[in-house]
């Protein structure tokens, strides 16, 4: 029964679509949409042609490179290389600082989180004293590649001993 009902509704909608298309308003709408699509396609085609020229990807150039090396390679500007270098540098800085923190017995290294973005290090978490904040910041500042250290470390209150029973 559901299939029959869906079929009937489909036939009705299809008939309504054909009727609308045959009206003058329907034809104008389809023609307007067609013009918009053609305009967008032309703009996209022009943009692609501009990029082909910019990247020197003419058919002749591609054939020459394939004949010479068997491959065609284009690198995106310096930004891509710089982004990769920055990302690996940031990861290296974070790892170096975290290693320094956890190997120090006078600092709660596992309670300190280290994040690095473009050489700016952020330390967060909890430490035992204001002196620990200073020590952690000095360790971070002495790490190669660090441009700035921001601390959001909090001094946790000393824990009270459990009452004796």
**pLDDT in 10s for each residue of the chain, 165 residues:** 788 888 888 888 877 777 766 777 766 776 766 676 677 667 766 776 776 677 677 778 777 876 888 776 665 555 555 655 666 888 999 999 999 999 988 999 899 999 998 888 999 999 888 888 888 898 899 899 888 999 988 888 776 666 665
Q: Is residue 85 part of a domain?
A: yes
Write out the two tokens for 110: 């596992």
Q: Is residue 51 part of a domain?
A: no
Q: Is residue 136 part of a domain?
A: yes
Global pTM value: 0.48
Task: For the chain, give the longest Cα–Cα distance.
Answer: 93
In eight-state DSSP terms, residue 55 is T
| 144, 97 Cβ separation under 8 angstroms | no
Q: How many Å apart are CA 17 and CA 153, to the nearest integer? A: 66
Q: Which domain holds residue 84?
A: 79-155
Write out the two tokens for 99: 């290693």
Q: Is residue 129 part of a domain?
A: yes
**Which CATH number covers residue 109?**
3.30.1340
Q: Is residue 89 part of a domain?
A: yes
How many domains are there within the chain? 1
Q: Is residue 97 part of a domain?
A: yes
Q: How many Å apart are CA 157 and CA 19, to the nearest integer? A: 78
What is the reported pLDDT for 48?
Answer: 64
Angle, helices 78-103/130-141, rounded to nearest 10 degrees: 140
What is the reported pLDDT for 49?
Answer: 75
Q: Is residue 131 part of a domain?
A: yes
Q: How many Å apart are CA 121 and CA 98, to the nearest integer? A: 11
Q: How many Å apart are CA 106 and CA 67, to the nearest integer? A: 64
Q: Is residue 64 part of a domain?
A: no
Give residue 118's region: left, alpha or beta (phi > 0; psi -120 to 50).
Answer: left
Q: CA 136, 138, 140 angle in degrees (round to 5)?
A: 70
């Amino acid at each position: 029964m559901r299939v029959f009902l869906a079929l009937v509704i489909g036939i009705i909608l299809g008939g309504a679509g054909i009727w609308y298309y045959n009206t003058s308003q329907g034809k104008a709408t389809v023609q307007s949409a067609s013009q918009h699509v053609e305009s967008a396609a032309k703009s996209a085609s022009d943009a692609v042609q501009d990029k082909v020229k910019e990247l020197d990807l003419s058919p002749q150039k591609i054939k020459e490179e394939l004949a010479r090396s068997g491959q065609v390679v284009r690198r995106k500007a310096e930004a891509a290389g710089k982004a990769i270098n920055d990302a690996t540098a940031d990861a290296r800085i974070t790892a170096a600082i975290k290693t320094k923190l956890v190997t120090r017995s006078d600092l709660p290294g596992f309670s300190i989180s280290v994040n690095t973005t473009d050489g700016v290090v952020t330390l967060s978490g909890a430490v035992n004293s204001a002196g620990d904040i200073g020590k952690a910041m000095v360790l971070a500042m002495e790490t190669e590649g660090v441009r700035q250290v921001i601390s959001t470390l909090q001094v946790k209150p000393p824990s009270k001993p459990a009452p004796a029973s």
